[in-house]
Structure 1
Amino acid sequence: MPTLPHRLLHRLRLPALLLTAALSLPTAAAPATPAQRLADIATRAYDDQARFDPLSATGVGDHRFDDQLPLSHAPAERARRFAAWRGYLKELAGVPVAALSPADRLTRELLVRSLQDRLALAPFPEHLLPLEHMSAVPVQLAVWASGQGEQPLRTVAQHEAFLKRLAGLPAWCAQAQANLREGMRRGVVQSEPVVRALLPLLADLAQPDLARNPLAAAARALDTPPAGLPVADAARLAAAYRTEVAERSVPALQALHALLQGEYLAAAARRPGVGWGSLPQGAAWYRQLVRDQTTTALTPAQVHQLGLREVARIQAEITRVAPQLGFTGDPLRDGGLLAWTRTDPRFRPFKTEAEVLDAYRAIDARVTPQLPRLFGKRPTRPLDIRAEPEFTRATASDHYGLSEDDGRPAGVFWAVIPDPTAYSVVGMGALFLHEGQPGHHFHTALQLEMPLPEFRRRTWINAYGEGWALYAETLGHELGLYTDPVVYVGQLRAEISRAGRLVVDTGLHAQGWSRERAMAYWRDVTGAGAAQAANQIDRYLAWPGQALGYKVGALKIQELRRRAEQQLGAKFNLAAFHDQVLGEGSLPLAVLERRIDAWIATQRR
């Protein structure tokens, strides 16, 4: 399934969007060889997935369906989608594995697993939860309307495609209302904190003042036509946007907002708990999400204990480092060292957003020349550094995405900067390595350049993708960033938050923790302030299981590196190891382990 910016990641487990064209069918004359049959199935399966979920396709640079916003959450379309996946599994069962090359066997294995993973979520009513504050479809459309996202808005044809997509929003909202009402009837409702976080975003989208409505941003941008766009076309398109938003989008969103603010919020408040375990089938549902997001057989209880052990290990390192920063208090109590580095004025030197972005560019300039020592293969796509659009700053997390908004493909590190004067320099080094390079940028951009079947080029596996990015944070040692104890503490702060996620996510969704208990634990362990703790805990409520992939994946990559170092000794080459980890794109962790073990065996000869 597609790899996406963080704001869309959870849709890897939520309903894919409606297929608006006929499902791909087996050709009358089947390809002659097993390899050709596999290639044909893989192509058709990916094309169908892109049609089912065109927003995800746009998110990874597949712009064939940029004009579509179908009804993924309609029950009939959901059933149709799962029927398609069952059909492809049946076809794949008829492809003889023994007749395939090793590369094709891996492709077949990954496609089978991807289809099986999607079908494993079929018993659970995901479609009855179509909205949350992190990446709801109306919010995503508003981000793209800004012209800064993955859907390009430069040419007349691109604007017309987005207008058609936007025209699907009223029907999407109507289906969402039907699903929310059915969810209330069946007791499948979002938690109250998630609904409260969503309401201000929808209120902004539902406001009739087009001078401030985020969905009308594309119209406002056209009032000063960009170079290459004829003035007459710009005026026509701007008028069409304003008509669409004012006459159709706003009324639909107002009705959706009214339902959420009234009946639905009341139903959410009556839910017996905030975690997934308080939903019908919630325990089994969450267990499947844990398997899906970690690609392991770990139980929620095992993940919780793993998190506690990792928190304790990192706290010991924080205690060791604290004196190097001149900190004299208890480094752990009430957030200790981490809270101090977050709030002390010496660590908040910025006055403007531009100063924060310039500081990230300075880190990039320091890191980039050193990357050839650590990687044999590097992406050709450049990395840009940008500030998160204002509309989503209150709820967004820093993230990586793809962009073609200036006519060239690029990777983008989106920095969330709500208040530059409160922005701490401490965590910037680790954050850049994670979201920029060599983290998400190396994984995503390199994968898109690989001569792989399309579904593999555009695949996101959470434990691999987030695990690699978290592992990339540790490369600050090799890159010389962590010789500065301030920057190193930033990495420890980031790492302990990923360990804490294992504790709070499983605590909330499997152990019945309250939001207040999770927030208190988060603040104590990470030193976060109240607002940041609320933002994080509400993210985990909205995306159960997603936050588990980071630490589980990173620990596996670190384990494989240690194994290679120990078994290869002087033959170990770090750049070659990294090239092996990244060399086949996204992989389940067990498959990655198998690949690295085979590489170690080859190197030992």
Structure 2
Amino acid sequence: MLHRYLIPALVIIHLSGFLSACSQVPVTTDGLPPPPTEAETDQARQTVTDVFERFYQTELDHSPVLRSQLGLSGQFDWDDISPEAYENQVARWQSLRNDLSSVREDALSDSDKASYQALLHTLEYRLLQVPFSQYVIRLNDQNGWHKEVARTLVLHHPISSIPEAHDYISRLEEIPQLFKRWEENIRSASDEGFVAPDFVYDDVRATIEAILDGEPFTSGSKLSPLWSDFKQKLDALHLYPSTARLLERKARNALQDDVAPAYRSLLTLLDEQHKLSENRVALGEQPEGLRYYQLLLGHYSGGQMDANDIHQIGLAEVSRVQQLLKRHAAKSGLTIPSENPNNVIFDWINSQQKHYTDNDAGRDEFIGYQKKLIADMAARIPYFFVDIPATPLGIKIVPDNQAWLDPAIHYEAQYLDGSRPGLLVLNPEKMNDISQQRQASLAYRNALPGLHMSTAVARENESLPDFRRISAAPAFSQGWALYADKLAVEMGMHNSTEELLGQLLNELRDSAALVVDTGIHAKNWSREQALAWMTSETPLSVAESEALLEECILNPGKSVSAKMGQFRISALRQEMEDRLGARFDLAAFHSALLTGGPLPMETLETSMRQWARDIKSNQ
């Protein structure tokens, strides 16, 4: 069982010491610190460089799954999720943070200062989360280990040699150990009253059943996803038949003797936990839940607004987008009554929704449309960006036997060594989960000028410390994606009334997320109350409303990232325009914004203000 009471006390002691130590810089008689000496500057540079490298290596050493996602070889096992490993991880974070506290920030260059602030922000957030570790049990179908192992093997474990085939088999054999640890963590959290909500279990059960569907788990001609994946990757090696048969036999044995029992044990755990589950869905109903929720909101929103402020912003944004939809509907000839106009507008919007024919021709149309969107956007990128990434953007079509892994449209970042490009991943099996009108918006968010642009520019910037090339700052990354979608309108895309309608509908969903997330966790809305609000205020289908609600319940605060981050980026752009006047160049602004990689919003704003000062000083 995790020592939940020992670790938080440890963190509080060290945290209070750090906050006081941070300001212990000598001051002169005029109250200002003396300028750093050359020796202090050199020492500060050496210290932070060492800390940056140690943090990056710690991240990789602790998570073989992360290594696989980055395309790095060398560790083909699973993350250690034991309480002991977590305690060691916390100790490493404390050590790194303490080393940062010894550095005079004013002795650092601007670039090192940004890295210093980014890492300090990350370490502080992680350490402040420690007292709430019992909340993070990962028993859900969005990021549970039952799905993560399959995703890692299928998407991020290549087999380009016989040793890599053995590594794949070893990973199959080690799944029971990972799941055993996960089950222990779930039961430990359950003993303390933290049980996944009722709606989780059917989804997790369905995914497990999909993983175990087909040979070698069941009879018939169908191959299970992992068995199919291994055989296809092995076939591509063109090995001697005897060698291939030996490897196939070992993989089959691992699937039957290790993987199947591990997943069936999880199914037993699901039945056990489901009986304990309640309809309790809000963090505010848990001990210290509101305090934890505010911590999450600060991380995901990129600021320190409280839940009520974000809730009110969400309501205002929903109203604003509703007015744009009303204007759009009126231009299309719809007669809108003065009473209950939303009902008429939403009915009209839903009558406009189009979906692809569910056959090969419809799938080809879906894929072709996405390819054309990206090609047309790529031709306009040079007019709006200075630094254009060399990393290509590929389009990957999800095969039928992997359809359960992915949504209709999403992005997979390139590998660090460039061996795989950035990918816009299209899942034809789920192409009708979202109407045609809204899919252009998703392409711009996920690919160009959205996530591929921001991710590739950062990963190609070798002047950054390695940890910044792979770091995550949700408000920046998701905020950029939404900003990019709105930028597409400026770029001359979204050039049909249908696509403009789709862009507004996606923005309305993001705005509604602010209301629903804070409503559930800070205002104790019930599930029914949240669904009723979405029904009256948005045209989202029941299925999509439930999906948004469940996303907010399972990942508190995360759904506010896109809208709150986009606010900050748009406000920063306006500030730069005001500061620079005629010298403001939108393409240069975009590239300056992205080259530093994902940063905490306050650090980003500081960096961009320095960028503006540099431009003005060069007049």
Q: TM > 0.5 between the two?
A: yes
Q: Which is worse superposed, 46-55 or 448-457?
A: 46-55
Identity %: 25
Distance 1:539 1:234, change over 3 A: farther
Number of residue-to-residue matches in the alignment: 567
1:96 to 77, 91, 104: 104
Q: Distance in 1 between matches of 2:248 and 2:380?
A: 46
Residues 374, 575 of structure 1: 8 Å contact kept:
yes
TM score, norm. by length of structure 2 = 0.85
2:589 to 569, 577, 580: 577
Q: Distance in 1 between matches of 2:139 and 2:609?
A: 42
2:312 to 305, 320, 328: 305
Residues 155, 229 of structure 1: 8 Å contact kept:
no
Give the superposition deviation at 1:341: 4.2
Where does residue 248 of structure 2 map in the other structure? 238
Where does residue 323 of structure 2 map in the other structure? 316
Give the superposition deviation at 1:414: 2.1
Q: Which amino acid aligns with 1:321?
A: H
Distance 1:422 1:286, change over 3 A: closer
Which string of whole-angstrom CA distances, capped at 9 and with x for unpartnered residues, describes residues 510-554 of structure 1? 211222222333344342222222222212222111111110100
2:46 to 23, 32, 36: 36
Give the secondary-structure state (helix, strand or coil) at the position aligned to 1:386.
Answer: strand
1:114 to 118, 122, 147: 122
Q: Which amino acid aligns with 2:456?
A: A
**Residues 15-30 of structure 1 aligned to structure 2 (within 5 Å):** none
Q: Which amino acid aligns with 1:449?
A: E
Q: Which is worse superposed, 471-480 or 518-527?
A: 518-527
Matched, 1:193 2:199: yes
Q: Which is worse superposed, 398-407 or 365-374?
A: 398-407
Q: Detail structure 1 runs of 4+ shifted over 6 Å in the superposition.
A: 404-407
Give the superposition deviation at 1:337: 4.4
Distance 1:98 1:598, change over 3 A: closer
Matched, 1:589 2:595: no
Matched, 1:202 2:216: no
Residues 318, 511 of structure 2: 8 Å contact kept:
yes
1:509 to 502, 521, 530: 521
Residues 482, 563 of structure 2: 8 Å contact kept:
yes
Distance 1:581 1:222, change over 3 A: closer
Which string of whole-angstrom CA distances, capped at 9 and with x for unpartnered residues, describes residues 376-426 of structure 1? 011111112234455454874632113569994211122344455675221
Where does residue 14 of structure 2 map in the other structure? none
Where does residue 413 of structure 2 map in the other structure? 402
Distance 1:334 1:226, change over 3 A: farther
2:449 to 438, 441, 459: 438
Q: Which is worse superposed, 455-464 or 477-486?
A: 477-486
Where does residue 10 of structure 1 map in the other structure? none
**Residues 16-415 of structure 1 aligned to structure 2 (within 5 Å):** 33-65=43-75, 67-72=76-81, 74-126=82-134, 129-146=137-154, 149-206=155-212, 208-209=217-218, 211-222=222-233, 225-227=235-237, 231-260=241-270, 262-269=271-278, 273-328=280-335, 337=345, 340-342=348-350, 344=352, 348=356, 351=359, 352-388=362-398, 390=400, 391=402, 393=404, 396=407, 398-402=409-413, 408-415=419-426
Higher relative contact order (CA 8 A, sep 6+): 1
Give the secondary-structure state (helix, strand or coil) at the position aligned to 1:482.
Answer: coil
Which string of whole-angstrom CA distances, capped at 9 and with x for unpartnered residues, describes residues 485-511 of structure 1? 211111111111111111111111121
Distance 1:407 1:266, change over 3 A: same
Distance 1:560 1:128, change over 3 A: closer
Gap runs ≥5 in structure 1: 1-30
Q: Distance in 2 between matches of 1:201 and 1:167?
A: 20
Q: Distance in 1 between matches of 2:277 and 2:399?
A: 29
Gap runs ≥5 in structure 2: 1-40
Which string of whole-angstrom CA distances, capped at 9 and with x for unpartnered residues, describes residues 279-319 of structure 1? 33322221111112122111111111111111111111111
Where does residue 22 of structure 2 map in the other structure? none
Distance 1:406 1:600, change over 3 A: closer
Give the secondary-structure state (helix, strand or coil) at the position aligned to 1:192.
Answer: coil
Give the superposition deviation at 1:263: 2.1
Residues 392, 422 of structure 2: 8 Å contact kept:
yes
Q: Which amino acid aligns with 2:369?
A: A
Where does residue 575 of structure 2 map in the other structure? 563
Residues 330, 336 of structure 2: 8 Å contact kept:
no
Where does residue 480 of structure 1 map in the other structure? 492
